[in-house]
Every structure is written in C-alpha cells, then in structure tokens.
Amino acid sequence: MPPAEYILRRKIAKGKELLESGKGNVTEVAFRLGFSSSQHFSTAFQRFTGINPSKCRRTKNAEK
C-alpha cells in the first residue's frame, strides 16, 4: 500500500471514530483531519467505508 493511501485510510478511520462519538459535524471533522473540503472528505469516506459520513453520524447518534 502506498504511503499516501495508508495516511488517507488512517484519516478516514479517525473521522469515522469522531463522527460516531458525536465530536463535530462532517465539515468540522473534515477540516480537523486536514482535508481541503468537506466534499473531499465525504468522497474518500464513502469510497473506503461504503457509506457517507452524514449517514454514519446519524446512524450512530440514533443508537444512543
């Protein structure tokens, strides 16, 4: 795995953790992790997890 992909996967994993814990909305998490835009974060998130970040956040918050 190339280094850039490894870093991106780690950022997405951290983003999923933050969204599930309710520590910020999608835009806040995207900028916190160093993405240039929330759209770039959303696209990468969906590519690696199969769901969009908003749905991830809503699903986890609904379980609480």
Q: 17: domain range?
A: 3-63
Number of domains in the chain: 1
Q: 21-32, pLDDT tens digit by residue?
A: 888 899 999 999
Residues with Cβ within 8 Å of 20's Cβ and at least 6 positions away in sequence, in order, are 56, 57, 60
CATH of residue 23's domain is 1.10.10.60
Query: Higher confidence at residue 61 or residue 29?
Result: 29
58 band by pLDDT with thresholds 50, 70 and 90: confident
Mean pLDDT of 30-54: 94
Q: In the structure, what pLDDT confidence band is assigned to residue 62 with cuts at 50, 70 and 90?
A: low
* C-alpha 38, offset from chain centre: 9
Calculate the dihedral angle through the C-alpha atoms of 39, 41, 47, 48, rounding to the nearest 10 degrees: -170
What global pTM score does this model have?
0.82
